[in-house]
Amino acid sequence: MTQEEILAMEAGIRLDIEVAENLMGKQIVAGRTASSSSQIITTSEVPHYSTDISAAWQVVERIVGAGFCIAPKVIITNDEVGWYCSILSNAPREEGKVVALGDTAPEAICKAARRYVEEVGND
């Protein structure tokens, strides 16, 4: 997925599935599953990472656990509010830095996290 495609995504199930599969290591299956594995979930069980801040916090914990810093910040310009999220290495260098914008903190976090996977990798 290209940077432009990621940044053009809106908050919702499509972005949630992208984060679940590519960052959180979940396998998404259609319909019902009798699997006892917490890594295999149905589309209806996908956490609302891009719209629910408590679910987005799991994304933050995953990024921090991989040794990166993540910083969502509110942006206010001319009566409009948005969110900016950056992810960068804890090392004193700029390698691996990704940024994203969103209407809400969870959306910005998810877009930055998805870009992180695409550009830096998911170790």
Mean pLDDT of 95-115: 89
Residue 113 three-state SS: helix
Count the neighbouring beta carbons within 10 Å of the beta carbon of residue 17: 16
Give the model's confidence band at 10: pLDDT under 50 very low, under 70 low, under 90 confident, else very high: very high
To which H or E segment does residue 41 belong?
strand 40-42
At residue 1, the pLDDT reads 85
pLDDT above 60 for 123: no
Domain that holds residue 78: 3-119
Residue 34's pLDDT is 57
Alpha-helical (H) ranges within 1-123 are 3-8, 13-22, 53-65, 105-119
Q: Quick one: pLDDT at residue 118?
A: 85
40-79 tens-digit pLDDT: 888 889 999 999 999 999 999 999 998 888 888 888 888 7
pLDDT number for residue 98:
85
Q: How many domains does the chain have?
A: 1
Please work out, in degrees rounded to the nearest 5, the angle formed at the alpha carbon of residue 5 by the alpha carbons of 58 and 92.
55
For residue 55, what pLDDT is reported?
97
Residues 37 and 46 sit within 8 Å (Cβ to Cβ): no
Q: Which CATH number belongs to the domain containing residue 77 in this structure?
A: 3.30.2120.10
